[in-house]
Amino acid sequence: MTHRFGILRRFRFNHPQRIAAVLLALFLVQGFVLVSRQTLSDRDYQYARCGREMWEKPSPLAGYFTTCGNIHDGVLAYRLAGLPLTLNLLAERGLDLFRKPEDRVVQTGGELNTWELRHQLRHVLLLLRLPFLGAGCILGGCLWWVTRRLYGNWGGYTALALYCFCPAMIRACVSPDPDVLAALGVYGGIYTSIGVAHAMQGPRRKWRPRIILLTLVFAVAAAAHIAALPVTALAGLLAMLWVAEGHRSQALPIVLTAAAGALVLVFACYNFSPDAFSYVFRSAAGFLWVSPDPARRFFSNPANAGIACAAIASVVLYLAVRKSRYFGNTTPLLCAAGLMALVMTGVPGQPWLWAQPFLLTFIGGIFADAYETPRRGMAISAGAAIVALQVVACGLNLAGRV
């Protein structure tokens, strides 16, 4: 059997994977319900227009990347928002060949501006949001994979259930917004760095695929928010230095190589335009500061009641139970605390949202430890009650009552 089919044969869709799939499906259902209540906004038109320009044609304005100017607040979000519209328009143009002239979508000149697109193509609002809902599902899948691998099924269930009923994450996925993409890049980048560090203990032939994956994930973080790249690279380097015993001297070159490759890929997102790419570094897109306000607002919000209770209980258990203070729990705690304290001063951004997967990973790890104690039944009941509280709080928030 070839290696490719061997991987497919090892894949299993058993009971744990089915439960995770159901939770992610509920996440999508909540997102679709919110989308059904929305209308197109000026922000939607901006992302649609400039995203389509990146795929279909260069800006007619000399010296600018798009008619929105030189994008510096997350080029990946614009590209993903415009891609479904561009693909749908290409499909409609192909179908026009089989339609009567009076029924064609593109009537004259072969051009269709964003305002006309609103009337000619169906489901424009949903198409704009599908990439971000997809990114939210991928992030949930990554969270499930990491927590289940580290803590077992019950730790993974707890973390994923809280994620799928986190109103902040759901709302971030139902508008063109780079923060969910940045959250995916930061979370994936740090845990891929840890995976590279573990691979460094084995044969060198296993290093290259993981380093390539690390480069791609770094690129997602950088293209979502340029400030996310140094944050991810620094945290990933520290995690690699912690894990890669005997190979610590190679950690920095690997991270620098992946970061350089990520910048090349971001350059490609700007169609290799030096002026547009350099504007990212000439703007204030990478400016960060620290403040306790994001954490205070998040934990005082009734919509996050279940997550707040779980976080408080997890910190208490982490400090009280020595067996809980190990690498698998300490790393997400430090990452969550660090990201929760960051604020972006140059462009709009929500680093506290990037912290959510790490916070939920920490909660999943601590609760998994509690599930393995002699009082397992009581721990599982407490975990189920906290998840139920978060489900209720999320439902009330999405209904506009909290």
pLDDT in tens, 286-325: 889 999 999 999 999 999 999 999 999 999 999 999 999 9
Q: How far apart are CA 343 and CA 174, in angstroms?
A: 22
- Helix (H) and strand (E) counts for the chain? 19, 2
User: Would you place residue 130 in the very low, low, confident or very high pLDDT band (cuts 50, 70, 90)?
Assistant: very high
> C-alpha angle 173/341/308, rounded to 5°?
65
- What average pLDDT does range 322-343 have in this prediction? 95
Q: How long, in residues, is the chain?
A: 402
User: Would you place residue 1 in the very low, low, confident or very high pLDDT band (cuts 50, 70, 90)?
Assistant: very low
Is the pLDDT assigned to residue 128 strictly greater than 80? yes
Q: What is the pLDDT of residue 401?
A: 80
State the chain's mean pLDDT as an integer.
89
Write down the domain spans for the chain.
Answer: 1-37+139-174+287-402, 42-122, 178-284
Q: How far apart are CA 163 and CA 27, in angstroms?
A: 9
Q: How far apart are CA 330 and CA 326, in angstroms?
A: 6
Q: What's the pTM?
A: 0.92
pLDDT in tens, 191-207: 999 999 998 888 888 88
Contact 49, 67 (CB under 8 A): yes
Is the pLDDT assigned to residue 62 strictly greater than 80? no
State percent of the chain over pLDDT 90.
63
Contact 140, 165 (CB under 8 A): no
Task: Please give the backbone phi and psi of residue 343, each rounded to the nearest 5 degrees, phi first.
Answer: -135, 145
Is the pLDDT assigned to residue 60 strictly greater than 90? no
If you search the block for the tokens 């439960």, which residue do you land on?
19
Q: How far apart are CA 191 and CA 195, in angstroms?
A: 6
Lowest mean pLDDT, pick from 121-130, 208-217, 362-371: 121-130
Identify which has the larger pLDDT, 4 or 377.
377
Is the pLDDT assigned to residue 266 strictly greater than 90? yes
Q: What is the pLDDT of residue 271?
A: 87
pLDDT in tens, 216-255: 999 999 999 999 999 999 999 999 999 988 888 899 999 9
Task: Please give the backbone phi and psi of residue 63, each rounded to the nearest 5 degrees, phi first.
Answer: 90, -5
Q: How far apart are CA 253 and CA 196, in angstroms?
A: 12
What residue type is assigned to position 163 of the chain? Y
Identify which has the larger pLDDT, 53 or 392.
392
Is the pLDDT assigned to residue 168 strictly greater than 70? yes
Is the pLDDT assigned to residue 6 strictly greater than 50? no
Which residue spans within 178-262 are E strands per DSSP? none
Q: What is the pLDDT of residue 5?
A: 46
- What average pLDDT does range 356-361 have in this prediction? 97
Which 3 state secondary structure label does DSSP give 269?
Answer: helix
- What average pLDDT does range 132-161 have in this prediction? 96
Q: What is the pLDDT of residue 384?
A: 95
pLDDT in tens, 365-387: 999 999 998 889 999 999 999 99
Task: Please give the backbone phi and psi of residue 201, each rounded to the nearest 5 degrees, phi first.
Answer: -80, -10
Is the pLDDT assigned to residue 116 strictly greater than 80? no
Lowest mean pLDDT, pick from 93-107, 250-264, 269-283: 93-107
Q: How far apart are CA 344 and CA 271, in angstroms?
A: 26
Q: How far apart are CA 378 and CA 381, in angstroms?
A: 5
User: Would you place residue 261 in the very low, low, confident or very high pLDDT band (cuts 50, 70, 90)?
Assistant: very high
